[in-house]
Amino acid sequence: MSRIGVFFDRDGLLNVNTHYPHLVEDCYLVHGIGNALAAVVVHPRFVPIVVTNQGGVGEGRYSKEDAMAFEAELRRKIFFDTGFTIPVENWYHSWSSDDSDPFRKPNPGMLLQAAKDHDINLNTSAMFGDKPSDLIAGARAGCCALYLIGKGTPSLYDQVNSFMGVMNAKRRAKRRARKACASDSYEFT
């Protein structure tokens, strides 16, 4: 059975965006991110996936090693804040600054690869981001829900819970419909 992907942008959503964040000492979690991630991780049907453009590597602003050290620190802070982690294999990157790269958002390459790697049905998945390019990537990949997070919008936690509530309600409705159909007896003459 396919799983439901919950795709998160990284910079500005999980960590404070300090303009090309790559220094470990500049790694700060966005307030409340732990609760939003915990809501996803505790449900085995939902797969948290992080998709991040790291064009600063392609532009030569910092190295891939710096970016990976920053990300390791981010995962460490998420673990200490929540008691769980998003596995390394659930993090996808575009190292390019070239917008024609199929893996750089707004292109859907990272989401499509994650769907293949983790048996994710994109038609039941959601993309959460703080920029239009995040949502465009989600739409191009076929995600059924797109959530913009930022000033004037509900919190990431509220929006994640809203999506998960809808998906769980759909599942319960399907289960009730199957049960009702199985219990009804029809006589055809």
The label of the residue with tokens 């970016």 reads 67
In angstroms, the CA 22 to CA 135 distance is 23
Catalytic residue among 9, 81, 98, 117: 9
In degrees, to the nearest 5, what angle opens at C-alpha 126 toward C-alphas 75 and 158? 75
Annotated catalytic residue 119: no
Annotated catalytic residue 9: yes
Q: Are 11 and 133 in contact (CB under 8 A)?
A: no
The label of the residue with tokens 């076929």 reads 142
Catalytic residue among 11, 66, 99, 101: 11
Tokens standing for residue 116 = 């293949």
In whole angstroms, how far apart are CA 39 and each of 12, 18, 42?
A: 19, 26, 6
Q: Which H/E stretch holds residue 50? A: strand 46-53
Q: Which residues are catalytic?
A: 9, 11
